[in-house]
Amino acid sequence: METNDTNTEYKPRDYSLERWIVRLLLLLFILPFVAQAQETTTLANNEGAGLLLKTATPGTYAIVPAVKSEVHITVTGPIVRTTVTQTFHNSTGRCVEGLYVYPLPELSAVDTLKMTIGSRVIVGEIREREQARKEYEQAKSEGRKAALVEQQRPNVFTTSVSSVMPDDDVVIEIAYQEMARYENGEYRLRFPMVVAKRYSPVRTTAQIAEKAVPTCCTEASHVALTVDLQPGYSVRNIASAQQVKSETLGNRHYRVTADSTTLDADHDFELSWQPDLGTNPEATVLTEKLGEETYALIMVTPPARSSVRLPRETIFIIDSSGSMEGASMQQAKAALLLALDDLKSGDKFDIIDFDSDARPLFSDSKFADASSIAEAKSFVEKITADGGTEMLKALQLAMPEHPATTSGTVRQVIFMTDGQVSNEQELFSFIHARLGESRLFTVGIGAAPNSHFMRNAARFGRGTFTYIGDVQQVQERMSELFAKLDAPVMTSIAVHSNDSIAESWPERVPDLYRGEPLVVAMRVHDANAKITLHGSIGNEAWSKELTLPPAGDTNDGIARLWGREKIESLMDRITDGNNPNGVEAAVIAVALQHHLVSQYTSLVAIDQTPQGLNTTCKAEPLPTGNATNDDANGTLPQTATPAGLLLLIGASLTAVALIAMKFVK
Amino acid sequence: MPTLKTATRTLAAVALLAGLTTGGEGLWIYAKAKLAQLLLEISWRSALAGEQLRPWPWADTRAIAKLTIERDGATIIVLAGASGRTMAFGPGHLDGTAMPGDIGNCVITAHRDTHFAPLRYVGPGDILTLQRPDGVTIRYRVQATRVVPKSDTSVLRQDARTRLTLITCYPFDAIRPGTPLRWVVIAQKVA
């Protein structure tokens, strides 16, 4: 604490008393946290990553952190593919077995696995789930070794590691894929640093005797992290809170590196980058070859600023059926009021309130001005939740056969509902048939909205689905949606190819909005196929022809992305009432070809060690002491009392009390 | 301003009360550690005589050894189990690790500010002894002292050597109890 010289000269006593009071208050605030820390410090962090070895106490493991971790992340467009290779060393002096644990990002699954345990090689293969389970059970009943790799908990990958002989190295390589998060004009990826925990080298007693000098602390495990960034467009502001080295490798190709000398293991590694946008929309293509097929990732980037703001016509549909009663109705009304405030003069709007019946506010959209907005607000205030859910009537009003929209105007339908409907199919076909130039954006309200309906309604409607879980999120989520809706740059985008059997996802391409690149994955058979993009900017037509890059230029993850999208659309067919058996066969075929874990396929660890090698040993559990005491995995007991702290606080409090009493006498 | 005066006086009284109770609580921790050792010493003598008496009627642990640090002649009775509850009274023997004199690693932990405060002066070459209830005394020579993060369970490793490992919190002078480092004394049985 710095003292102010002039101040001390004048009233030194006052000042020091003040200082003591501040310190005391600080201590008083810290105390509860200290007390809390004490209770939990011995608790194990089970969410950590690494090799967990079985101990004599069932369910209790000793954590072996990695000696070395290599992380290679490739970014292709918005696809983020992470390969982690970790090396562990068995220094326990015995034959051990256990588990490898890795924390995964949400909505992601490990699709590639390679394990080397001493001289054994184990490789993960995608197998049909049912068949894999049968093989596993059979192998187990025959006493053979088998391993089924399945995600038991969401977001945690585990695989068993058996027969690790003394002094064996265990090298585990896994890979998984996710999409970079996009928000506020930038893309972002995150890597959990818990994976690169500090490593404590286990020394033998002999080595300790040799050294015989106190060695402080432990060496950090070696971590090397590389991000190979090929977003398909130029980027600027490659940034990370961690200390990294970034370099430009070539045209639209960047590399970011970091290692344990600078990486802070206590904070996750995050990297963000922004598309460097030009003055016009641009289109690029990256490819990956898999078998005979070529998979193309087509990206359209918007211009930095659109010269004209297209006038909008917004139709709000608000669900006031009985199922919306309570918090959901409140959220929907709050969201709608926010939306009304966001309207600009020159924009037209209307509101349709529906339950068993649909009631429009104006029946013909009106320009947004003080009086129409005031009228709309009082209309919204009066809405109460009761009655049935006749969604079709509302959609019929919102999407008339011939909307009276002036050309060049963007027509957006914003649909706020919990999606509790029974006639999904009828609604989907209606949206499909009547969409025309309108765009449908669904906003899911309530604790458990029917997101299957809303996601697909938005897909058929070439819009997006926004989910609002509770009232606190209304402002944030709606603002995000409005910011996007405010600036459509290009509409009616279509992707064509001269390859007649090309297949692309999403089937109906959404519009291009300011700040956010658009992505389409396409499969073509002809490696020299030409791809043509069409779209309209206001009333002007736009088109661009793309040539696939030469066969040598290949990017990871595109084929898998295409496969994922394909599987998702196949799975939707079941909800759409198709025969599940037919869908299952189709999904399995795609999953096997693209090496993907799905509803019907899993990753199975197959031992590929050449025959005849004596590679197994009888694992012994580690003594419980090795896993530490009672409730703790991998921490030594708490061995200090708070006595000193308590005395200090007690003495300070007493001193302050005495000084204060003297002061007021 | 009488109201301000009254308020200050009330606050001062509250602070005094809080100060005395908090300070008292701190002193009680030290007192408990000392007092328990006296009672344990009596219990230990009964153990050596053949039948161990409970150190106090409600004790949920028992004395398993008597540790002597030859450098300063300090003797401490070691209890079974290294829970926080046990360590309030004496060093705890970590369950699952070797018993004194048995093949393997015998691990004992205690608080750095009470029973294991003398460990800060212990270094390679120092002699530690453990007396067992059967009267046998095992001598160990300190080979190394190390500072490790609390997650480093390698110091608990069991192998064929007869060792004694003492663990306490580090740094010794830290005022907060929850530090992430541990001071480890590794000693090998003297043949």
pLDDT beyond 80 at A140: no
Which residue among A200, A638, A656 places its CB closest to the CB of B152? A200
A267 confidence band (pLDDT: 50, 70, 90):
confident
pLDDT beyond 50 at A35: no
Cα–Cα dist B189/A355, whole Å = 84
Which residue among B82, B113, B152 places its CB closest to the CB of A637? B82
Average pLDDT, chain A: 78
Is the peptide bond between B55 and the residue preceding it cis, with omega within 30 degrees of 0?
A: no
CATH superfamily of this structure's domain A50-205+213-276: tricorn interacting facor f3 domain (2.60.40.1730)
A549 confidence band (pLDDT: 50, 70, 90):
confident
Q: How many residues does chain A have?
A: 665
Smallest CA–CA distance, residue A568 to chain B, in Å, is: 43
**A354 vs B58, higher pLDDT:** A354
pLDDT beyond 80 at A10: no
- Do A634 and B178 count as a contact with CB atoms less than 8 A apart? no
Q: What's the domain range around B172?
A: 12-16+24-189
- Do B84 and A637 count as a contact with CB atoms less than 8 A apart? yes
**B100 vs A475, higher pLDDT:** B100
- The structure tokens 């079985």 sit at A54
Look at residue A96 in the predicted model and tell me its pLDDT. 85
pLDDT beyond 70 at A289: yes
Look at residue A210 in the predicted model and tell me its pLDDT. 28
Read off the tokens for A39. 């209770």
Across A124-148, average pLDDT: 74
- Do A639 and B109 count as a contact with CB atoms less than 8 A apart? yes
Q: Which helix (H) or strand (E) holds A74?
A: strand A68-76
**A200 vs A270, higher pLDDT:** A270
Across A407-416, average pLDDT: 85
Contacts for A479-483: CB closer than 8 Å, 24+ residues apart: A479/A338, A480/A183, A481/A414, A481/A441, A481/A443, A482/A338, A482/A339, A482/A342
Which A residues, 485 through 524, put their C-beta within 8 Å of a C-beta on chain B?
none
- Do B29 and A646 count as a contact with CB atoms less than 8 A apart? yes
**A115 vs A328, higher pLDDT:** A115
pLDDT beyond 80 at B31: yes
**Amino acid identity at A454:** M
Q: Which helix (H) or strand (E) holds B105?
A: strand B104-109
Cα–Cα dist A270/A239, whole Å = 8
Percent of chain A with pLDDT over 70: 80
Considering the domain A312-486 in this protein, what is its CATH number? 3.40.50.410
For A188-218, the pLDDT digits (tens) are: 898 887 665 543 333 322 232 222 222 223 3
Which residue among B105, B158, B169 places its CB closest to the CB of A640? B169
pLDDT beyond 90 at A509: no
Q: Which of A92, A49, A59 has its CA nearest to residue A619?
A: A92
pLDDT beyond 50 at A531: yes
Look at residue A75 in the predicted model and tell me its pLDDT. 94
What CATH number should be reported for the domain holding residue B83?
A: 2.40.260.10
- Do A625 and B182 count as a contact with CB atoms less than 8 A apart? no
Cα–Cα dist A164/A95, whole Å = 5
CA–CA distance from A18 to each of A105, A281, A436, A664 (Å)?
Answer: 49, 62, 72, 15
For A238-264, the pLDDT digits (tens) are: 998 888 898 998 888 999 998 878 887
pLDDT beyond 90 at A386: no
Look at residue A3 in the predicted model and tell me its pLDDT. 35
Chain B positions in Cβ-Cβ contact with residue A63 (cut-off 8 Å) = 151, 153
Chain B positions in Cβ-Cβ contact with residue A198 (cut-off 8 Å) = 149, 151
Is the peptide bond between A506 and the residue preceding it cis, with omega within 30 degrees of 0?
A: yes
Look at residue A442 in the predicted model and tell me its pLDDT. 92
pLDDT beyond 80 at B171: yes
ipTM more than 0.95?
Answer: no
A308 confidence band (pLDDT: 50, 70, 90):
low
Look at residue A445 in the predicted model and tell me its pLDDT. 82
Cα–Cα dist A492/A421, whole Å = 29
Cα–Cα dist A198/A474, whole Å = 41
Look at residue A23 in the predicted model and tell me its pLDDT. 54
- Do A63 and B153 count as a contact with CB atoms less than 8 A apart? yes
Across A545-549, average pLDDT: 88
Across A637-646, average pLDDT: 83
For A417-457, the pLDDT digits (tens) are: 887 777 778 888 899 888 888 899 999 887 666 777 888 88
Interface test with A, best of B89, B103, B119, B156 (most A CBs within 10 A): B156
Other C-beta atoms lying within 10 Å of the C-beta of residue B101 = 19
Q: Is residue B5 part of a domain?
A: no
Q: Which of A119, A64, A126 has its CA nearest to residue A92?
A: A64
Across A359-381, average pLDDT: 91
- Is residue B114 within 8 A of residue A643, CB to CB? The reply is yes
SS3 A46: coil
pLDDT beyond 50 at A5: no
Which chain A residue is nearest to residue B154, measuring alpha carbons?
A202
Residues 6+ apart with CB under 8 A from A420: A321, A323, A389, A450
Q: Is residue B7 part of a domain?
A: no
Look at residue A12 in the predicted model and tell me its pLDDT. 37
pLDDT beyond 50 at A39: no
**B19 vs A183, higher pLDDT:** B19
Look at residue A6 in the predicted model and tell me its pLDDT. 35
Q: Compute the half-sphere exposure of residue A203: CA atoms within 13 Å on the CB side of its CA.
A: 19
- Is residue B183 within 8 A of residue B169, CB to CB? The reply is yes
pLDDT beyond 70 at A628: no
Look at residue A218 in the predicted model and tell me its pLDDT. 38
Backbone φ, ψ for residue A397 (5° rounding):
-70, -40
For A394-409, the pLDDT digits (tens) are: 999 999 888 776 666 7
A106 confidence band (pLDDT: 50, 70, 90):
low
Q: Is residue B68 part of a domain?
A: yes
DSSP A89-136: E--SSS-EEEEEEEE--TT--EEEEEEEETTEEEEEEEEEHHHHHHHH
Cα Rg, chain B, nearest whole Å:
20
Look at residue A260 in the predicted model and tell me its pLDDT. 79
> Could you give the number of structural domains in chain B?
1
